[in-house]
Amino acid sequence: MDQFVLTEAVARPYHSNMSVKPDRTEAVVLVTCPDRPGIVARVTSSLDQVGANILDASQHTDVEGSMFLQRLHVSWPDESPEPESVHDVLTELGEELDLSWRIRWGHAPRHVAIFVSKMDHCLHDLLLLRRDGELNCRIPLVISNHPDLEETANQFNIPFHHVPVDSSGDPEAESRQLALLEAHDIDLVVLARYMRVLSPDFINRYQDRIINIHHSFLPAFAGGRPYHQAHRKGVKLIGATAHYATPELDEGPIIEQGVIRVSHRDSVQDMVRKGRDIERTVLARAVRWHLEDRIVVHGNRAVVFD
């Protein structure tokens, strides 16, 4: 699976689900294509041609895969452009250079669903960041396999849906969950310490659009009870990993990781407590980068333009 995943933009423009008129004076453009000389000049002059000013451009050339990836943050200083004309010029470029592209128009918040179980530290942090304007998204619902966190969601005026799940991959529960996601036109699912495993079918529907936080420094301690595993092993640092979910458990592209020191004095319970801070920080960072279109998945790796 060594190819780029930018097909979403073609199939379904990011801004299609916006009830508000998107701000067309700013946009993020992501492009990928086989590497060759002259791409940067070609892309920038094409955008210049439709009046775009390039505020920031980052690129990465994957030497092994010979692929070129670029993120451009552009604005139109004078007047809003016609989206069609911008799309046309990108389409033309795409044909010429065998280039995939996607564009997101400014201030068009995506719809995010948060899945939780009983622990609320990650949920709380995401809701606070959203409230403070640090996460550019809407959160139309929280879904949980337990009723415990309803009050937390309500404190932030977010509808809470209790969907009991018999066991990981429970098809009836997943049907209910999927129906909720579709009803709210969800773009991104965040598993904020959700303790059930989703079925491959569910995950494939939201490829590269499900972010999970795993409470270990992956690939160490994949699977269940990672702090217990870490304690048994006697590691001197514990960590957390935010990654896109793939059908292979805890194997998806890593977006962000963090660690904190522990010692022999720390019990499993101490590790759980210390891990809290890392988990929520790492998850919040990954979600923010996704919402700012800073991530391109390439093979099994996540390129983050930070």
- The binding site for a second copy (CB under 8 A) comprises 37-42, 44-45, 47-48, 53-63, 77, 120-121, 124, 128, 134, 155, 217-221, 233-237, 239, 253-259, 263-265, 267, 273, 277, 281, 298, 300-304, 306
CB 67 within 8 A of CB 61: yes
- Assess contact for 28 and 292: CB atoms under 8 A: yes
Q: What is the DSSP string of 13-57?
A: -GGGG-SSPPEEEEEEEEEEEE--TTHHHHHHHHHHHTT-EEEEE
Comparison of 179 and 237: residue with beta carbon closer to a second copy: 237
| Nearest-angstrom CA–CA distance, 256 and 242 | 5
Q: Is 190 helix (H, G, I), strand (E, B) or coil?
A: strand
**CA 62 – CA 214 distance, rounded (Å):** 27
Q: How far is the CB of 62 from a second copy (least distance, A)?
A: 8
Distance, in Å, from the CA atom of 136 to the CA atom of 57, rounded to the nearest integer, reads 20
**Least gap, CB of 240 to a second copy (angstroms):** 11
Which is nearer to a second copy, 23 or 185 (by Cβ)? 23
Closer by beta carbon to a second copy, 17 or else 44 = 44
Q: Which is nearer to a second copy, 6 or 181 (CB)?
A: 6
Under DSSP, the state recorded for 280 is H
Distance in Å, CB of 58 to a second copy, minimum: 7
Clarify whether 250 is annotated catalytic.
yes
Nearest to a second copy of 30, 254 (CB atom): 254
From 250, 266, 277, 293, active-site residue: 250
Q: Which is nearer to a second copy, 191 or 278 (CB)?
A: 278
What tokens were used for 31? Answer: 């492009």
With CA atoms as reference, report the closest residue to 156 among 188, 184, 198, 125.
125
> Rounded distance, CA 276 to CA 123, Å?
11
Min dist. Cβ of residue 262 to a second copy (A): 10
Interatomic CA distance for residues 265 and 213, integer angstroms: 26
Tokens 């979600």: give the residue.
Answer: 287
Closest contact distance (angstroms) between CB of 186 and a second copy is 25
Distance from C-alpha of 143 to C-alpha of 160, rounded to nearest angstrom: 6
CB of 238 to a second copy, least distance (A): 10
First vs last C-alpha separation in the chain: 25
Q: What's the CA gap between 199 and 94, in Å, rounded?
A: 34
Place of tokens 């066991």: 167
Active site residues: 250
